[in-house]
């Protein structure tokens, strides 16, 4: 912890960390110094002059160095000559700050009057009106009248698209540079900038596409006026009409906290609809930022093609039916199949859904044939042992600490983690990046290794070996091992880029063993706060799926089962050879993803979904489920933080929550009556059946505490329009290593996936087309196009040029891709991007179309 100094703000004495600015320090005792350009997450610039205050320091006798005292014995204060900007002045011991004097008031009036000389005052048509810092501070500190001639106001362009996502209103901008500084300092995408000077200054972008950043939406939150608005929300509603509903991002393993702003409106047929997604502060998870994906993906919930009624196959076609018929049919078919029935789930549904799903199979049918429909990355059993310890916060990592990232492009796969890892590196943490190709993280890496294709596992094994021997070898791997073992704290991320499931298992276990290597003080890097392993899961609740036992060999809470069931791969082959006759698919589209070739020899297929997916089209019964926006539940993020989301809109059609549908089927099969609420599934099922969740309930997960910086309160001007967290910071479950030593893992042998003449791997893109994102029209121009990235030398050899249409055959599937040369691919490795998942290093055939 940094040293504390004592200061006095308007006579209130307080202790604050050295280095804090006067504005931020005053906030701790609820003294609000108004600001426009200052933002607690950005470096101070002192541009707007709104925060002018009087600052005094105790005087010292120059000769003796002793404090000079007044007659009454109090220190004599030197108030300096003028006002100072509270956002740039750092606190010092004994400092006095006056924020309510006449001279300060006058300065504020002047700054407001000055700002308004160039501001249009079109509040009645401005999206920010009602939650506008300039509006609020004008009401609080403005004069109400101006010496300025209104005819001389600036008249600038009002609807300037900075790309497809963000619009700029040039005359509303007050030139605070929050947006450009955010893009520069936080997002590392300096694609917007100031152009010209003085009153002619404007925000511009030249990137292609315009304002090319995954974080652009955040600039609209921190913009203190209505200059920046999103294409998605602008002119959509007034802020005061919106009802905020706390939720969790339905995408990505980081579990970003969000607020859904909802409104009931006539133009949507009287329905309550989601008008926008905003960040909700959780300094432990996403601070006050969300990616544009999280912000704009919500449209699937209100999509016109949502399933509204149960469907049943009659005479070869799917026709609408009633719930009772559908549920009875499914129950009878499942019961007839008994322990041979198989179940596949996606990793998006809630813990409640997933728990109910495995219970239906394990208890109702005595079947362990359940798995994730698309298992990409192993290691839930490993992170349960040595996962990042509870109480950790990536925000605390810095000097002396090491972060390791292996086989993951965090910027595309988990942008919030990318942001936090990058910031930790900027705070001084050593960043070790191991990958087969360059990624956006490389530029922040202290140690960077691009291992040869197929040698991810070998490289990590080498690293583990070096750490265990610790002979001070001076090669790069030796140095990395030394840095890791000697670090104060170590957090290791691992992903699955270019790896098979089996390889990720080896990766997880090798890294787990690496973290367990003890340093000279006898400390290892597991079981301690701010230490441990994090899997870069592909979806928002992959962690929950592991915890809930969506696994053929692991029951809830990672308890082994005596007779493991079929894995997903075995289920798919069983579907083809007829050994699997009855299959239940929840929230997944194995046919559409190319994992399952039609319905094969299935006798009965039931699909529970939001949309009529390719799998649903060949099903016998289709059950319409509710999206996350229509109900409550919990997701568990990759740091094992269990977080609640709340219902925001009414159910679409007759759709029901997944857990409820499953429990109703179970009830027809003789299991318990369905619970009345998701909270009871959690309490009676999960907390009772999953040991790691035994100390949790919906109340404990919903606990909040005061967070700093104090963003999202009434004073929007301070931190922007991100919402205060009133609905829960979540609860991390404790890894085994926290309550005692865990054994070293036995690392299995694995044959790296074979590589042909030109090995190909699939790389992730944040905007990869998929069932949910495809429903967000606003993101469609940004969608990753199916692309083959080639190095110039390889392209020459294959006689392929940028823009050529190529066909790549992968695992029996033909992908139509557009070639891109000299992009991201290193020599000797081709990358495919913008297509659904394919595991490992692919022996792909590349042909020009």
Number of C-alpha atoms within 13 angstroms, CB side, residue 272?
Answer: 16
Looking at the Cβ atoms of 218 and 608, the one nearer to other proteins is: 218
**Residue 30 C-alpha from the chain's centroid:** 31
Least Å distance between CB 616 and other proteins? Answer: 43
Task: Say how far apart CA 321 and CA 316 lie, in whole Å.
Answer: 14
Look up residue 196 and give its two tokens: 């010209």
- Shortest approach of other proteins to residue 191 CB, angstroms? 5
Compare residues 200 and 469 and give the one whose CB is closer to other proteins. 200
Report the nearest approach of other proteins to the CB of residue 440 (Å): 13
The one-character DSSP state at 280 is B
Q: Which H or E run contains 806?
A: strand 805-810
CA–CA distance from 112 to each of 219, 717, 818 (Å)? 22, 13, 53
Pull the structure tokens for residue 27: 């906030």
CB of 201 to other proteins, least distance (A): 8
Q: Which residues pair with 752 in a beta bridge?
A: none
User: Cβ of residue 231: shortest distance to other proteins, in angstroms?
Assistant: 19
Is residue 78 within 8 Å of residue 56, measured between CB atoms?
Answer: yes
What residues make contact with other proteins under the rule CB under 8 A?
Answer: 189-197, 204-207
Q: What is the tally of helices (H) and strands (E) in the chain?
A: 23, 37
| Minimum CB distance to other proteins, residue 162 (Å) | 10
Closest CB to other proteins among 191 and 729?
A: 191
204/215 Cα distance (integer angstroms): 16
Q: How far apart are CA 165 and CA 230, in angstroms?
A: 6
Min dist. Cβ of residue 195 to other proteins (A): 4
Q: 116 or 429, CB closer to other proteins?
A: 429
Nearer to other proteins by Cβ, of 212 and 332: the residue is 212
Nearest alpha carbon to residue 635 among 674, 683, 682: 682
Selection from 27, 258, 218, 252 nearest residue 728 by Cα: 258
Instruction: Identify which of 247, 331, 359 has the alpha carbon closest to the alpha carbon of residue 684.
Output: 359
For the bound state, the minimum distance from the C-beta of residue 224 to other proteins, rounded and expressed in Å, comes to 21
Task: Name the minimum Å distance from CB 626 to other proteins.
Answer: 42
What is the Cα–Cα distance from 403 to 490, expressed in whole angstroms?
6
Between 184 and 843, CB nearer to other proteins:
184
Sheet of strand 243-248: strand arrangement: 243-248, 257-264, 272-279
Query: In 401-436, which positions are buried (b, 16+ CB within 10 angstroms) versus exposed (e)?
Result: bbbbbbbbbbbbbbbbbbbbbbbbbeeebbbbbbbb
Query: Shortest distance, CB of residue 208 to other proteins, whole angstroms?
Result: 9
* Interaxial angle between packed helices 351-359 and 658-668, expressed in degrees from 0 to 180 and rounded to the nearest 10: 20
Q: Which is nearer to other proteins, 177 or 464 (CB)?
A: 177
Tokens representing 400 are 């002396």
Q: How far is the CB of 443 from other proteins (least distance, A)?
A: 10
Comparing CB distances to other proteins, the nearer of 191 and 758 is 191
Query: Which residues partner with 820 through β-bridges?
Result: 789
Q: What's the closest the beta carbon of residue 163 comes to other proteins, in angstroms? A: 11
* Shortest distance (Å) from residue 422 CB to other proteins: 15
Q: Which is nearer to other proteins, 213 or 524 (CB)?
A: 213
Nearest to 825 by CA among 787, 782, 784: 787
At 31 the three-state DSSP class reads coil
Comparing CA positions, the residue from 662, 683, 682, 686 lying closest to residue 674 is 662
Rounded-to-integer distance, Cα 625 and Cα 612, Å: 11
Separation CA 406–CA 781 (nearest Å): 31
What does the DSSP assignment read for 65-91?
-PBPB-TTSSBPEE--SS-EETTTPBP
């Amino acid at each position: 912890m940094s040293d504390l100094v004592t200061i006095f703000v308007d006579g209130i004495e307080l202790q604050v960390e050295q280095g804090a600015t006067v504005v931020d320090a005053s906030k701790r005792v609820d003294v609000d110094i108004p600001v426009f350009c200052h933002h607690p997450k950005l470096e101070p610039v002192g541009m707007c002059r709104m925060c002018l205050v009087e600052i005094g320091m105790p005087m010292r006798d120059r000769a003796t160095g002793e404090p000079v005292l007044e007659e009454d014995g109090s220190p004599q204060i030197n108030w300096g000559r003028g006002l100072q900007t509270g956002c740039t002045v750092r606190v010092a011991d004994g400092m006095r700050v006056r924020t309510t004097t006449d001279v300060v008031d006058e300065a504020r009036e002047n700054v407001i009057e000055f700002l308004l000389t160039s501001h249009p005052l079109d509040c009645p048509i401005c999206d920010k009106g009602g939650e506008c810092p300039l509006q609020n501070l004008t009401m609080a500190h403005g004069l109400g009248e101006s010496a300025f001639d209104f005819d001389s106001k600036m008249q600038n362009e009002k609807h300037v698209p900075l790309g497809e996502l963000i619009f700029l209103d040039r005359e509303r901008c007050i030139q605070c540079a929050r947006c450009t500084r955010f893009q520069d300092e936080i997002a590392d995408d300096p694609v917007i900038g100031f152009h010209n000077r003085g009153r002619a200054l404007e925000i511009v972008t030249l990137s292609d596409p315009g304002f090319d950043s995954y974080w652009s939406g955040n600039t609209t939150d921190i913009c203190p006026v209505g200059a920046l608005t999103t294409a998605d929300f602008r002119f959509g509603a007034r802020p005061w009409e919106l009802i905020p509903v706390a939720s969790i991002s339905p995408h990505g393993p980081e579990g970003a906290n969000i607020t859904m702003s909802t409104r009931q409106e006539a133009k949507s047929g009287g329905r309550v609809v989601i008008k926008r997604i905003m960040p909700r502060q959780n300094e432990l998870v996403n601070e006050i930022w969300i990616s544009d994906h999280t912000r704009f993906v919500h449209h699937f919930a209100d999509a016109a093609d949502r399933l509204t009624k149960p469907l049943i196959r009659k005479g070869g076609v799917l026709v609408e039916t009633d719930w009772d018929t559908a549920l009875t049919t499914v129950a009878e078919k499942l019961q007839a199949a008994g322990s041979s029935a198989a179940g596949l789930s996606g990793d998006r549904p809630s813990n409640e859904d997933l728990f109910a799903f495995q219970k239906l199979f394990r208890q109702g049918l005595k079947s362990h044939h359940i798995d994730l429909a698309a298992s990409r990355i192993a290691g839930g059993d490993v992170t349960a042992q040595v996962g990042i310890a509870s109480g950790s916060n990536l925000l605390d990592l810095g000097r002396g600490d090491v972060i390791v990232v292996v086989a993951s492009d965090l910027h595309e796969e988990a942008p919030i983690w990318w942001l936090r890892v990058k910031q930790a590196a900027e705070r001084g943490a050593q960043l070790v990046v191991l990958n087969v190709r360059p990624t956006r993280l490389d530029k922040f890496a202290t140690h960077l290794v691009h291992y040869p294709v197929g040698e991810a596992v070998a490289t990590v094994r080498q690293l583990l070996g070096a750490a265990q021997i610790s002979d001070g070898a001076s090669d790069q791997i030796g140095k990395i091992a030394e840095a890791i073992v000697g670090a104060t704290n170590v957090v290791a991320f691992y992903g699955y880029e270019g790896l098979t499931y089996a390889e990720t298992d080896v990766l997880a276990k090798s890294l787990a063993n690496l973290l367990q290597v003890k340093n000279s003080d006898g400390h290892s890097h597991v079981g301690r706060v701010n230490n441990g392993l994090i899997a870069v899961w592909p979806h928002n609740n992959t962690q929950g799926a592991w915890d809930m036992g969506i696994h053929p060999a692991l029951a809830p809470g990672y308890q082994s089962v005596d007779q493991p069931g079929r894995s997903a791969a075995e289920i798919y082959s069983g579907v083809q050879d007829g050994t699997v006759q009855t299959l239940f698919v929840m929230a997944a589209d194995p046919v559409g993803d190319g994992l399952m070739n039609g319905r094969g020899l299935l006798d009965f297929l039931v699909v529970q979904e939001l949309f009529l997916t390719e799998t649903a089209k060949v099903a016998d019964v289709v059950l319409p489920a509710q999206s996350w926006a229509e109900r409550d539940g919990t997701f568990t993020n990759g740091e094992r933080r269990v977080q609640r989301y709340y219902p925001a809109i009414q159910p679409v059609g007759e759709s029901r929550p997944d857990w409820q549908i499953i429990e109703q089927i179970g009830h027809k099969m003789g299991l318990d009556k369905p619970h009345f609420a998701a909270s009871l599934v959690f309490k009676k099922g999960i907390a009772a059946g999953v040991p790691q969740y035994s100390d949790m309930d919906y109340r404990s997960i919903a606990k909040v505490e005061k967070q700093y910086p104090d963003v999202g309160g009434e004073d929007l001007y301070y931190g922007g329009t991100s919402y205060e967290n009133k609905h829960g910071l979540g609860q991390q479950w404790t890894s085994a290593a926290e309550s005692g030593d865990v054994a070293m893992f036995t690392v299995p042998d694995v044959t790296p996936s074979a590589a042909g003449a030109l090995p190909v791997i699939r790389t992730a893109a944040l905007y990869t087309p998929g069932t949910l994102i495809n429903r967000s029209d606003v993101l469609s121009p940004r969608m990753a196009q199916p692309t083959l990235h080639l190095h110039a030398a390889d392209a020459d050899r294959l006689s392929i040029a940028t823009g050529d249409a190529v066909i790549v055959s992968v695992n029996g599937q033909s992908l139509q891709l557009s070639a891109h040369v000299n992009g991201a691919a290193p020599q000797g490795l081709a990358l495919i991007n913008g297509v659904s998942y394919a595991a490992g290093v692919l022996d792909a055939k590349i042909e020009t179309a």
